[in-house]
Structure 1
Amino acid sequence: MRISTLAAVMAAALLLTACVTPYARKGWTGGYTDEKIDENHYRVRFDGNGHTSSDRVWYLWLYRCAELTKEKGYTHFTVRKPGEPLASGPAAGPGAYERQPAAHADAGQEPPRLVKTKGGGAPIFIYSPGYTVTTWHNDAVVALFREPLPEAVLLLNAQAVLDQLGPYVQSDGKAAPLARDEVLRNAATLVRPERGYTFGGEL
């Protein structure tokens, strides 16, 4: 009974590690976390496992930033690197979001192990070296905004992000997303004193 239970646990663990990270709160295979800093600042992080690509981590992280913005009653958001002062001024300009945190990688080394060979008679164990597992993460402080929006600050429209990435997230990656830059351009909002709102593509 003990052996069969152990085998079942190991099989379940292998199944989990073979799956890409879903869009959900962080669990065994990764996911998102959000930590409140103050009323309109949250730290949002998305961790992928070794089967999850950099692009997938980035899309799911950005989707969570937009979703959190709407959940808290706001309409727009910006992102800053963790540790950057919250009062350090507005985003630098139209190209700022192309420079915002991309997914970063961690490389962990799986330890070497002994593998039992198949066959009759006494079991024989052979040495199997470990291998490198790369995992991707996105981590940023999200600042939330609503009307009246600040002038000359590059913002992302949360609903525009949700609309663009919703099919990708809801289909668990089966629906192809737009390119990263296109998502950002389509969601970008800049309030200019002389022109009012300017939306993506015109920046």
Structure 2
Amino acid sequence: MHAMKPTVLLIDDHSLFRAGLRLMLSDAIAHLDVREAASIDEALGVPRDSPAPCLVLLDIQLPGVNGLDGMTLIHRRWPDCPVIVLSADGASATAHSALARGAARFISKAEPAAAIQAAISAVLRGECDERPAAADPRPHLTPRQCEVLVLICEGLSNKLIARRLNLSENTVRGHVQALLAMLGVVSRAEAAFAARKRGLVG
């Protein structure tokens, strides 16, 4: 019986980029099994008993829940799995935000293929970038997460929040799940209580 190959999960909504990166990884690191997803929902939609990935390669600009918000959900599902954020947005503020949220490394898509390959290999060996010290113990929320949190505190359902913010219910559900994970709670009532206690809402 053959040993199961370690799995790398590639989450990016551009199929051409996924195909190119898969080809590069297959050529460079033959023992990897590369699994693809076009969104956070698709990535997390695999059965619970599926093998956990040994590494997640994550784009930021994704349909529905974006990569930075989705990182919380990925870490909750696979707490020991490192995440590399691989983004076309190479701004230092974006890199800082990704590392602060728990990314093992941030790589700009503008980097040469050899540099991307070397960074992925380094993380697979257990090497991570140093994470910036958190200046504020409160969770860092995006403007959209703040809007959703306020409406949760007002007692609105996902359907009503979706209607109010002109979003799909799936997208709202993803934001709610991310907020519960960031606040360390399991219910909307607990989220509202924690948000008010931490001064995240008025």
TM bin, normalised by shorter chain, reads: under 0.3
Structure with the higher helix share, 1 or 2: 2
**Structure-1-length-normalised TM-score:** 0.26
**Structure-2-length-normalised TM-score:** 0.26
Q: Which has the higher contact order (CA 8 A, sep 6+)?
A: 1
